[in-house]
Each structure stands twice: as structure tokens, then as C-alpha cells.
Structure 1
């Protein structure tokens, strides 16, 4: 047992361990009460359904004595949970030291996690609903190669979360720059002031609601209602469970989308792009530009009249589950107009590698057919894809690989050439008959698949050879910017102030 209690003592100096806020045991007891209320509500519903005829008899059994007994039991259980939470809080601590971030907890079953500086991928602040109301939060740290859940440091007060996040990001920047990382006093950490964060995007609530109504999920629910009405009128057999599933699933997805995207705001700061979003759970996320490998810009059919676009990014170090979640629900920018899209792209890409980047983006977003920059498939590709073949196309240079596709649901993919992992050609049976093939630019998991469809075999072979040369050259010249180069290009300066714990 003595050996288990000493977890981390060999790698963490004495006195470096820090405690979480004292309200943590109370929050654990509150979680118990929340679960109890939800469970009690469900049981009450079942009880009313099963014993509605005998409800008067059960009401008569509710006397002051039994109410007092029930309240006493609940109070006793609450105190037990509060005591258990207090004991667990005493054994829960974390440390920020030159070797990385250390976290330990557990009384009988010990848990110890160590994240090295070179493995940290993202640092986020999360505030769930009740924590947000009372001004608390947690710092979530994602690490490359972690098979477990991210390390979550909380509960802490909101200002402590900001201070801790800044401390971790500063240590991470020092580690990437090859500087020595020194232990810092948590009460004297330099924190970037809000004035140093330049807002480049904010999602209006009206646009969020309007774009949600015009997405596929909302129209699936609407279609389900129409089909249910037709079913009732034609067959007269009541509401089909299949239609109900369609409606409920679409409504739930729309609610999740609105809750996650509400109030999305994007800043440029010293640490990179910083986003803040969420209704019931406020998430603050820092995204260094070096971790962005590709950008996807999409426009659903019904958004075209308003010229709205959605921006998603492929991020290095993001787990497959996070990539799937971000691909289905979340987005860096849920809904932006053309001006906002161009402004955000200008913060991510130093250049698109042409003498007229604005013309290239115009061709990618709005044009179809052969253009000045974008190459399109041959006419025989329409036998396989009669609708989208006139829209599909690509453009490649040493800086980016751009893909355009989608007749009704437009999509543009912009890929950093130095982040391309490999290139391959594929050919299906119908493509073989027509002498066509597709090129696959292999990337990390994310919203960009890097597929160029239905071009002549000779053209794809030539593009394959060109891509191998372009990606090799891009890595040699380091197309992607470092964080220092990125800050210099955007004119960001380090302006900090000292904050103390009592501030």
C-alpha cells in the first residue's frame, strides 16, 4: 500500500502537487442528487402507469412520519456520498512540472496519468451547465496516442482554469521551441488578457436557428410528419413507429447541433485559433495552426440563397471518436457568410500558392466546368456521375491540394501539401470500362477524404507523379507555418499581465 500511495513521487518534486477546489465533493453529491431525481422521475412515471387505479391508496400512505423517514434516508445517503467525495478529493491532485502533466486519484484503486509536453495536442476549458452557473470548470487535455479518455483537471474556478490553461500552453510552446521548461508558481502565471484576443467570427443566434431549419435533419423531421399524415389518410392505421423514429432522431440531432454550436466565437490569440461555443456545456478550445492539416468548406442546398458555408477542419492528434463527433455535430465554424469564410481561411493558410488566390477561391466555391485554375473530368465521366461530373475538379501546387465537388451539396477541400501522407489511384469496374480512375490523397481521420473522382487514367497517373514531387518539395520548404511565423504574419504581439490567486 505504501508503494501505491507514493505514485508519482519519484517524478514530481515534493510540494508540486496541487489540489482541486474544495467544492468538488459537493459537486459529486450534486451529481448523485441529479441521478436520483432523474431515476425517481422515471420510476414515478412507471408507477403511475402501472397503478393508476390504486393511486388513492398510495397517496393515503404518504404521512408526515413516512415523509420524515424518507427525508432522513436521503439526507443520510447524501452525507455518505459527501464523505466519500471528501475522501476521494483528498487523494486527487495534479502537478505541472518540467517532465509534463501528472494526475493521480483513487483511494483503493489508484490511477496515475502522465502526459509529456511533446504529446499534448489540445487544451480545452469545459463548463457543464451547473458548473457554468456557479463559475466553475475543468481543463481537458488531449494527448497523442492516448487510448484512454482525455485528462480532465477539475473542478476549478473559471479564473483558475484560464490560468492553468495558459500555464500549460506556455509550457507547450517552450517545449516545441526546444526551450527548457521550468516549474512555475500557479499564482504568478502570466495570463493573456482578453484585449490580446482578436475576434474574427461570431455566430448570430438568428443565423444558427435559420441554418438549422434549412439543414437535412429539420427537413427529415418535416418529411416524417408529411409521410405520417399521408399514411393516416391512405391506410387509416394510425401513426407508424417508423415515422416516429425518423422525427425523433431528426429533432434530437437538431437540438444537439444547436446546443453545441450556440454562441460560437472564433478568436486569434497568442496560442493559435481559439474557439468558444456551447449552450449547456461551454467549451473553450485552442487550436494551434500547426495542427490543422486540411479544411472542408460545405454548403447545403438550401443555404445557397443566403451564401452560407460551414467550415470543418482535420486536426492532428484528434481521436477517431472525436473526429466522428466533429464530423456529425460540431464544426469549427457552423455557419458563415463568404466574407467570414475568406477571413478565416486567411488566418489558416498563409497563401494558396497562386498569383490570384481570390480567383481560385471563387472558382472553387461558385464555378463549374473548366476554369482558369481548376481542372474538371472528361465528358465521359457523366455516364457514371451525370449530375456532379460537371462540378468536380481539382487544383494542385506546392502549397495546397484543392478539391471541388457536389452539384447540390457543394464541398471544397483545401489540403496542406506537407501534411499529405500518401497518394494512391483506384479504379472501379465501370471506371475501367470508360478508362477513368480516382485519386486518393490519404490524410488523418476527419471531414476531408481527399478523393478526386472520375478522371482519365493517364491524367491521374500524371497527377500521382506530380503529387509525389509536390509533397516532397512542400516538406522540404516547410509550407505550414510555425506558431511564431503565424503570429508574425497576423501581427500578434505578446501582451501579458501578472495575475495573483486572489485577483
Structure 2
């Protein structure tokens, strides 16, 4: 029996044989899936050049009589080059096979007790490493083609810009088990157990500790399967009809209709520049609308031992586990058109680990596309487990639906309501020992919740008019995202008191925060 690698994680912490600290290769079909775009381009060129012959072969009634000028197949047949063409095709396939094989041989990964590492490249080598104590989440993505082959890819989200590590591709079963291993290793469980063991040395005997270890081992044998990777039922169910209606009653739909109206008017009055200018934008807007709808289908959100599992997507399925302590801001939103139906959406600010140019950087900011009040309350409890139960009223009764009698929020004073003529009673903030609440909007309601343990700092700013009216702007400095982090035109004295209290509250909340060790 071979000795385990010195960098191997503890055996009791992992379930997959690929999480043993040794270098392993990806699935053998990985080069084919990663080079899928190149193959599609080649197939498109072939089809474009042989389209007349393909039409004559499959639909002879629609083909033109006679020989197609410049047809490559006719040229090969007429010049008796069939053998040469076959050898050239065979050589191309051999070269592609060798390239794919070499790419697969040099594409390896390993999972140690401290890092997830990936090495790629033949001539230009790349070695990426994601420290486990910096892991912000793990995404499991199953594109449509990969799903047909029973494969998926993992994306380990790091804490820096363009710091993610991708394991593409693995079998679906291996992907799910490895993801559970990574989350278990990143949970801080080992640090907590080591600390507890040190305390137990003084409090108990060595015999008692050995008995605990034997008991834990027997329990692991009896439990057998990895329960953390098991499917968990979603706490929210979004009917397809509600999702479609919410997209129709959205601002993006209004923009799409406006573009369409401009194009129709331009076509009627005979202005060609309107068509050239707006038709591409209309197509892009329409594609975005359809993609946002399809991406929200099959949505689910559920609690697991590793964090909150969020799954969505019809063709390309994305499943992310968002560990506790990785949510830096939560915002509940409601537009005017959704108000009669009682619908809300939820967005978060979190570290994506991707480059700013990555098209998928904001795909996981929306954690609830549309939901009822009961849905929102369940999701808020999942995303903010440290928020006391008595503060949930601050989210709905006083936050989204407020102001209510006894409103605890500090709002815009009457002397400055000209800058918030509709929302001056709603526009405000509230600081508690656990979080900062920012409430704003009358037509488009929104409430931002910022856990103090995740905030970097708090800022007050004033302009000349603000100073004259004795008001200020309050900003919570957290990681960037779609959540609005500023509330403006609040009383200056209230903002100053919040500034002082928040500075102390952030230090106290950060010192007492243990959400990075969620496995405990």
C-alpha cells in the first residue's frame, strides 16, 4: 500500500479518490468540449462551401440543374483526386487527435489540504492555485453539450480579481463529490477541531480523546455516503407563468418595446439610418431578454451544510454553493409594475473572482428572480443567518413596506424634501448592532442590508447644497456589485451619529464573526 502524499488532505475530510493530494487528469473528452467552438467554425465553413451539394443530396427538387461552379467535390471527382482528398482528411483528423491528446495529457489538477491547483499548456505553461481559506464559493456548470456526455465543470471562486480556478471537465458524479470535498476543506472545520482538541488535552484524558476518534470513525462507516452532496429540496418554487409575467412587466421589456417602436417608425417614414442604427441594438436587446428568461428557468435555492445552493438555467445549468459569510450585501427590490402582484427580487454583492471583462461576472448577483413575500423572507433567512429574528420586521414591515407607525429609520428631513419629493418619508437608514439598512425609492422600492461583519468602512459625503441644508450622503463600503450602497439627503447629525456607531460596530462584529468556519 502506497504512502499518502504529504500534501494530501485528511482522509476523513474527503470522499472522492481524486481529492488525495496527487495530480490527476481531466476527463478524456475535455479537449473536445473545450475546442467545441473551433469545431463548430470548421463545420460551418464546410457547410457553407457544400451547401448546394447538401441541398441536392437531401432535397433534390429544390436544387438547380447542372454543375455548381467552383464546387470542391466536383473538382476532386473531375481531377481524380479522391485518394488525395481522403488522405488529407485523414491527416487532419490525426493531427487534431494528437493535439487533443497532448492537451489532455498536460491538463492536470490536484486538491491538497491547502489549495486547489490546475496546470495547463504545452509550450506556455500555466499554473493556477486557489487557497482554500480564500474560497468564496464553488460553481458547478453543465453546458448543454456537456450534459449530453454526463460531464460538468467546476469553478472555484477566489477572493481576488481573475483568481478563479476552473476544473473543466469532469464527470458529473465526480464534480459533485469534489465540490463537497472542497467546501468541506474550506469550511474551517479542521481549524475548529484542532482548537477544540487543544482545549481537550487540558480538560480530558488521552483515553477519552481516543474513544471519540473511534466513535467518529464508526459513525463515518455507518453513514457511508456523502450526505452533503445529496440533493436538497428548494425552499422557493417559481411557476413558469409568474416568471414570464415578471419579464413582461419589467423595465427591460419597456426598453425593448421602445426600440421596436423606433424601428417601425423609421421603416414607415423611410429613414434607412434608423434601421442601421437600431436593428442591431434591438436584436441584442431581444437576445438579452430571452437569455435572462431562459437562465431563470428551473430555479431553486436550498440550504446545505456547505452553504446556500442556488441552481438555475434551462439549457446550461449552473449550480453554485454560496458559503455563509460570503454575502457582503443583500438588496430586496420591487418595481411599480410588480406591486399589484406582491412580487420582489433579491440581489447580492459578492466576490465573483472573475475579470471585469468576463461576460458572466454578474450572472450570480440575482439570487431570487421573482418571488412573493414568503419567498423573500425564506431567502433572506438563508442569506443572512446571523440576522436576529426580531430584525426581520425591519426588512418588510418597516423596510420594503414602510414607513409604518413608529418608524425607526432616520429619513430625509422636511427642509430637504425638494430633492426627494415622493420618497422623502421612505428615504433613510437604520443602524443595528448586526447590520446597516438602507431604504429608498417610492416608485421602485429597494432595501439594502449590509452585515457589519462584511463591511470594510462607512463614508459620509457632502456637497455645497448639502452643507447649506445640513444633510449628507451615507455610503457603506463593501465589495462592488449591483446593490446600491448609498443613501442620500439624510440629516447630517443622524449621519454623523451613524458614522461613529458604525465604526465601533464594524470592529465588534468583525471580531466576533465566525461565519468563515461554517462547518462548526
Q: What is the TM-score of this pair, normalised by structure 1?
A: 0.81
Of the three residues 78, 101, 119, the one matched with 1:86 is 101
State the structure with more CA Rg: 2
1:293 and 1:379, CA in 2 relative to 1: closer, same or farther beyond 3 A?
Answer: same
Question: Aligned with 2:122: secondary structure?
Answer: coil
Residue 438 (structure 1) aligns with: 473
Asked if 1:121 corresponds to 2:136, the answer is yes
Asked if 1:271 corresponds to 2:306, the answer is yes
Alignment of 1:279-290 (within 5 A): 279-290=314-325
* Displacement after TM superposition at 1:267 (Å): 1.2
Matches of 1:453 and 1:306, distance apart in 2: 29
Of the three residues 317, 333, 349, the one matched with 1:298 is 333
* Displacement after TM superposition at 1:466 (Å): 2.4
* Displacement after TM superposition at 1:350 (Å): 3.7
Alignment of 1:12-31 (within 5 A): 16-28=22-34, 30-31=36-37
Residue 402 (structure 1) aligns with: 437
Question: Aligned with 1:63: secondary structure?
Answer: helix
Residue 176 (structure 2) aligns with: 162
Asked if 1:65 corresponds to 2:46, the answer is no
Residue 284 (structure 2) aligns with: 249
Asked if the contact 1:26–1:82 (Cα under 8 Å) also holds between the matched residues in 2, the reply is no
Question: Aligned with 1:332: secondary structure?
Answer: strand
Alignment of 1:192-203 (within 5 A): 192=227, 197-203=232-238
1:70 and 1:390, CA in 2 relative to 1: closer, same or farther beyond 3 A?
Answer: farther
Matches of 1:419 and 1:159, distance apart in 2: 34
Of the three residues 155, 159, 166, the one matched with 1:152 is 166
* Displacement after TM superposition at 1:307 (Å): 1.4
- Indicate the larger mover: 23-32 or 269-278: 23-32
Of the three residues 375, 388, 412, the one matched with 1:377 is 412
* Displacement after TM superposition at 1:330 (Å): 4.8
Question: Aligned with 1:156: secondary structure?
Answer: strand
Of the three residues 335, 338, 342, the one matched with 1:307 is 342
Of the three residues 166, 186, 211, the one matched with 2:246 is 211
Question: Aligned with 2:278: secondary structure?
Answer: helix
The runs of 5 or more residues in structure 1 that have no matched partner are 1-8, 46-52, 181-187, 486-503
Residue 237 (structure 1) aligns with: 271
Matches of 1:123 and 1:251, distance apart in 2: 30
- Indicate the larger mover: 124-133 or 242-251: 242-251
* Displacement after TM superposition at 1:402 (Å): 0.9
Alignment of 1:184-199 (within 5 A): 190-192=225-227, 197-199=232-234
Of the three residues 332, 335, 341, the one matched with 2:370 is 335
Matches of 1:323 and 1:35, distance apart in 2: 22
The runs of 5 or more residues in structure 2 that have no matched partner are 10-19, 52-63, 195-222
Residue 156 (structure 2) aligns with: 141
Question: Aligned with 2:234: secondary structure?
Answer: strand
* Displacement after TM superposition at 1:339 (Å): 0.6
